[in-house]
Structure 1
Amino acid sequence: MSLVVLHEGDDVAVATTAMPTGASVAVRGAGEVTLRAEVPAGHKVALRDLPAGALVRKYGQVIGRTLGEIRAGEHVHGHNLGMPEHAAVRVADGTAGSVLRLPADLRRTFQGFRRPDGRVATRNYIGVLTTVNCSATVARKVARLTEDEAEGVEGVDGVVALTHGTGCGMASEGEGWDLLRRTLAGYARNPNIGGLVVVGLGCEVNTVTGLMAELGLAEHVPVSSYTIQDLGGTLSAVQRGVELVRGMMGDLAGTARTEVDVSELVLGLQCGGSDGWSGLTANPALGVASDLLVAAGATTVLGETPEVYGAEHLLAARAANPQVADALMTRIRWWERYTQQQGTTLDANPSPGNKAGGITTILEKSLGAVAKAGHSPLSAVREYAEQIPRPGLVFMDTPGYDPVSVTGMVAGGANLICFTTGRGSVFGSRPVPTVKLATNAELAGRMAGDIDLDCSPVIEDGVPLEEMGRQVYDLLLEVASGRRSTSEELGLGGEEIVPWQLGAVL
């Protein structure tokens, strides 16, 4: 039973296990503290007396201010810790981005699908893409009727219905329209899509003909489209879709994996159901893997703008140039205005599960979340679903809500996702595989069928972050090479395609 201090000078430490009132608990490297209240695992304990209104530090950064006097040994959480008066209080730490020197024994290749246009896929899917929610049921039926057949076709990983909840009842221009079209076109162009069927209703705002004109698919990708109304209804539309998918299975049969350089990976970095352990174990371990990938010439993508709020200055300090830093700060300012217009604040982001796991404010959540991006220089900033430039660490402006965030990354060209969780997640992201990392051992055991790797040994057993990061790196390459992740084994990922919806619903 011990408390972990994350940075010299922090005012709080993190409980490694649930701890009772009155316990004298060792603070790693800093003596003992007697607890004045029960403290759940992952929650914070005051290391010293703090006056009312004092700024409180964790990770060496401000995570909030005291709502009253807090005495050493007290449980620090929402009852006595709130947001500072001026929202995010940023403390410069002098850290600039740096590129790792790669270990000599680091694996530098994986088995991927090399497309005729030079891009590399980690999976080979046939997509059934809808223009509008009205055609979603037809697309799902087509996928259900053909997915078992696809399992038996060598070189084909499956059939996925790429559905969404909009496409009509919206303006045919403006920010919301651009986001939808960019997202749908991005999914169609993702390298993991080997064939595409586009299904519309026939009278929607987002017409089949209009979308097809903007897809910009590579010549090697077989594509067909139709509308339900033109075919005479649901039954005929399902039958037509099944015929087209079966034909594409024949076209893709025998597609073989080949050895490709690790630089062909575009990895989306995501966290969900975070807890007090996230910033200690899984997130920084993924950060190590991200740094290794970037140093090897690959691309990693950090998103969830509301969940870097309060830590954006740390990313800006690592920007490759002032323009990149300015672009990041512009998106932060946009979110401040947007949440205000919606009658809320960015501190509304931490969920009840986050808070139960020990996270109190958005500042604290963000400081743990940005650890996923390691220490590499920030090379570019992109808006939602824009194509991801390569190589390097890239920031994409996405909401914090997991399915919306990952949808933007996949649309941008990510061919692999790594998802850390402390409370538990049942997320998937077909046609792109998701690898899930647990932050703590209790979760890893309780939801073992949903977790690919338990990162808790960083705290439980003293495993160095560098070693755990290498385990994450190696696992990512295995999954990129065709090993199924737990979410793939469970068939997850068909319902998590959620484009960011902005604008009026008309």
Structure 2
Amino acid sequence: MKSKLIKVHPDDNVAVALVDLFAGDVVEFEGQSLKILTDSKAKHKIALVNLKADDPIFMYGVLVGKALSAIDVGGLLTTENVKHEANSVSQKTETTSWTAPDISKWKDRTFMGYHREDGQVGTQNVWLFFPLVFCENRNIELLKDVFEKELSFHKASKQRQLLRNLINGAPEDTAVAEIEEEQAIFDNIEVKFITHQGGCGGIRQDSVSLSKLLAGYVNNPNVAGATVLSLGCQNLQIDIFKNALAEKSAAIKKPVLIYEQQQEGTVDEMLAKIIKDSFEGIKKANQIKRQPAPISKLKMGLECGGSDGFSGISANPALGYASDILAAVGGSPILSEFPELCGVEQELVNRCVSDEDAERFMHLMKAYEKSAVDAGSGFDMNPSPGNIKDGLITDAMKSAGAAKKGGTSPIQAILDYGEYVTKPGLNLLCTPGNDVESTTAMVGSGASVVVFTTGLGTPTGNPIAPVLKVASNSTLARRMPDIIDIDSGAVIRGEKTIEEMGEEILEHVIQVASGEVQSKADALGQDDFIPWKRGVSL
């Protein structure tokens, strides 16, 4: 390792420890000998100058905090001596110029995808079942049990074999031979199921918001068709859902089968009808084959979760470089998690192509922060205990690193929750910072693949879009190999550049998008779906 510390930006007055440091250690850094004053774990921040109380703290070239008390050179930044602080933004101050990466090796690249009649191209071929209201969750679960068992989409698990052995009194390591693994009936279609707790009981705006999200899932290019269950009396009426679907696509050509229980008779009669109709739809969808498509057809969600002090200097900027390549060839990267853009608003506002989008971004950010404050919280409470333990001690510090996922390309569109991506180039989507809520939202806005950076590890997946995990450090990749797809730890060790790692990420995305490699989340059957509930319950 070339150094034990790294300064991310020339204007920073703190550095990141790349290894564990101990009080009394002397570190050679930027031509000076720096004495470490306190035991400091890797990923945490060390003062490079003497800081007095109320002095600003800069990282990634932006304000990320303020000193609560004096911190001497070589001292450790903690939640006891630093508080959250971020620059405010009121207007666009300039239009940021952009030097696009060299795309000569990418401009003609293709992936093998599922072409839809509206011109979108999917990375998966899914028939989706979901309810308009939580009252239908049980019927969705009944259908899931029937279709998964009869179509053999889920093979026997190690956990099922363990329970079988316990029941039979056999040794725990007895082979899986007793549980037969049937071959799937269809080889070119997946059947997935969504349940949720919405559709009624809250404010009407929540039902409208949910209708837009669910319509986005139907319109997502990874979906070949859908079976939708309604009770009949709920807030999220069928016509509200149909209107939301029409907003996404004026003349949607996919089969969308809708059933209303209060009009169908008994449960058995309704389920029998659903099974017959859906089976015919699934058979037809299975005939759709992968065909070549330019990578400009990819819509790539950019997500982070379980972040650590290395996320902002390895995995996130590497994903940002992959995002820039995709934007340069005409694809659509999607950056979300608005609470984790706090402190970098000015940079993002200046990157907006249109003044209208710059104004809309500021409005959405301020409205969101106000709603958090009104609820007795605030963006400053965003870092989780895990974030703080691994070096992200203020929201602005976490945000400055999280925003690196979006690279440096111009922002072509600002979208509110539930709106669909239609423009090539980088799109900003208003979502919570919550991992699953944000991932759920990006897929509902059209993401056909999601790349998810993590420093601590998370199994998050999605029912209809592959979610690839990028580890910020190799220790995590070795400890949790069943959930990590890509290890960016080589950046920390100085063995690979950000650009090299970014290209490796994009290559892996193309392989997954083509069906050549399965994401670890899909291999685990990790199908997470949590809508954002913005209002109160009534």
- Bin for the TM-score computed over the shorter chain: over 0.9
Secondary structure at 1:448's aligned position in 2? coil
Secondary structure at 1:226's aligned position in 2? strand
Deviations 1:152-187 (Å, cap 9, x if unpaired)? 255534111122211111344xx4233122111111
1:10 matched to 2:9: no
Deviations 1:98-129 (Å, cap 9, x if unpaired)? 15243433362110011122221111101112
Cα distance in 1, alignment partners of residues 56 and 88 from structure 2: 9
Secondary structure at 1:165's aligned position in 2? coil
The match for 1:299 among 328, 332, 339 is 332
The answer to whether the Cα contact below 8 Å between 1:190 and 1:415 also exists between their aligned partners in 2 is yes
Cα distance in 1, alignment partners of residues 209 and 332 from structure 2: 23
The answer to whether the Cα contact below 8 Å between 1:311 and 1:366 also exists between their aligned partners in 2 is yes
Cα distance in 2, alignment partners of residues 153 and 347 from structure 1: 51
Secondary structure at 2:482's aligned position in 1? helix
Cα distance in 1, alignment partners of residues 499 and 60 from structure 2: 18
**Residue 100 of structure 1 corresponds to which residue in structure 2?**
100
The answer to whether the Cα contact below 8 Å between 2:208 and 2:236 also exists between their aligned partners in 1 is no
Q: What's the offset of the Cα at 1:203?
A: 2.7
**Residue 166 of structure 1 corresponds to which residue in structure 2?**
198
Q: 1:104 to 1:150 in 2, by over 3 A?
A: farther
Q: What's the offset of the Cα at 1:240?
A: 4.0
1:117 matched to 2:150: no
Secondary structure at 1:73's aligned position in 2? coil
Q: 1:314 to 1:355 in 2, by over 3 A?
A: same
The match for 2:492 among 418, 443, 459 is 459
Cα distance in 1, alignment partners of residues 227 and 5 from structure 2: 55
Q: 1:93 to 1:325 in 2, by over 3 A?
A: closer
**Residue 87 of structure 2 corresponds to which residue in structure 1?**
88
Q: What's the offset of the Cα at 1:223?
A: 2.2
**Residue 141 of structure 1 corresponds to which residue in structure 2?**
142
Deviations 1:275-316 (Å, cap 9, x if unpaired)? 111110000000000000011110111111110011111111
Cα distance in 2, alignment partners of residues 396 and 364 from structure 1: 21
Secondary structure at 2:414's aligned position in 1? strand
Secondary structure at 1:355's aligned position in 2? helix
The CA RMSD measured in Å over matched residues stands at: 2.2
**Residue 23 of structure 1 corresponds to which residue in structure 2?**
25
**Residue 415 of structure 1 corresponds to which residue in structure 2?**
448
Cα distance in 1, alignment partners of residues 406 and 448 from structure 2: 17
Query: After superposition, where does 1:166-205 map in structure 2 within 5 Å?
Result: 166-172=198-204, 175-205=205-235
The answer to whether the Cα contact below 8 Å between 2:212 and 2:241 also exists between their aligned partners in 1 is no
The match for 2:427 among 371, 391, 394 is 394
The amino acid across from 1:88 in the alignment is: N
Q: 1:445 to 1:325 in 2, by over 3 A?
A: same
Deviations 1:62-120 (Å, cap 9, x if unpaired)? 11111111111111121110123xx5357999882415243433362110011122221
The match for 1:443 among 445, 457, 476 is 476
Deviations 1:357-405 (Å, cap 9, x if unpaired)? 1001111111101100111011110110101122011111111111111
Query: After superposition, where does 1:101-500 map in structure 2 within 5 Å?
Result: 101-106=101-106, 108-147=109-148, 149=151, 151=153, 152-154=184-186, 156-172=188-204, 175-212=205-242, 214-216=244-246, 219-232=252-265, 234-482=267-515, 483-493=517-527, 496-500=528-532
Cα distance in 2, alignment partners of residues 219 and 62 from structure 1: 47
Q: 1:343 to 1:473 in 2, by over 3 A?
A: same
Cα distance in 2, alignment partners of residues 323 and 30 from structure 1: 46
Secondary structure at 1:294's aligned position in 2? helix
Secondary structure at 1:317's aligned position in 2? helix
The amino acid across from 1:7 in the alignment is: H
Deviations 1:390-448 (Å, cap 9, x if unpaired)? 20111111111111112221111111111111111110012011111011111111111
Q: What's the offset of the Cα at 1:138?
A: 1.7
Secondary structure at 1:75's aligned position in 2? coil
Cα distance in 2, alignment partners of residues 235 and 56 from structure 1: 64
**Residue 47 of structure 1 corresponds to which residue in structure 2?**
48
Q: What's the offset of the Cα at 1:328?
A: 1.1
The answer to whether the Cα contact below 8 Å between 1:385 and 1:410 also exists between their aligned partners in 2 is no
Cα distance in 2, alignment partners of residues 24 and 473 from structure 1: 39
Deviations 1:213-247 (Å, cap 9, x if unpaired)? 54336553222122344445555554444333322
The amino acid across from 1:502 in the alignment is: R
The answer to whether the Cα contact below 8 Å between 2:95 and 2:352 also exists between their aligned partners in 1 is no
Deviations 1:448-484 (Å, cap 9, x if unpaired)? 1101001111111331111001001111111111121
Q: Which range moves more in the overlay, 441-450 or 134-143?
A: 134-143
State the percentage of identical aligned residues: 34
**Residue 64 of structure 2 corresponds to which residue in structure 1?**
63
Q: 1:439 to 1:177 in 2, by over 3 A?
A: same
Structure 2 gaps of 5+ residues are 154-183
Q: 1:465 to 1:210 in 2, by over 3 A?
A: closer
Q: What's the offset of the Cα at 1:195?
A: 1.4
Aligned length: 499
Cα distance in 1, alignment partners of residues 452 and 470 from structure 2: 6
Q: What is the TM-score when the length of structure 2 is the normalising length?
A: 0.88
Secondary structure at 2:351's aligned position in 1? coil
Q: What's the offset of the Cα at 1:352?
A: 0.7
Cα distance in 2, alignment partners of residues 74 and 374 from structure 1: 31
Q: What's the offset of the Cα at 1:30?
A: 4.0
Q: 1:80 to 1:277 in 2, by over 3 A?
A: same
Q: 1:63 to 1:417 in 2, by over 3 A?
A: same
Secondary structure at 1:57's aligned position in 2? strand
The amino acid across from 1:291 in the alignment is: D
Q: 1:284 to 1:30 in 2, by over 3 A?
A: farther
Cα distance in 2, alignment partners of residues 194 and 103 from structure 1: 32
The amino acid across from 1:301 in the alignment is: I
The answer to whether the Cα contact below 8 Å between 2:417 and 2:429 also exists between their aligned partners in 1 is yes
Structure 1 gaps of 5+ residues are none
The amino acid across from 1:204 in the alignment is: Q
Secondary structure at 1:505's aligned position in 2? coil
**Residue 163 of structure 2 corresponds to which residue in structure 1?**
none
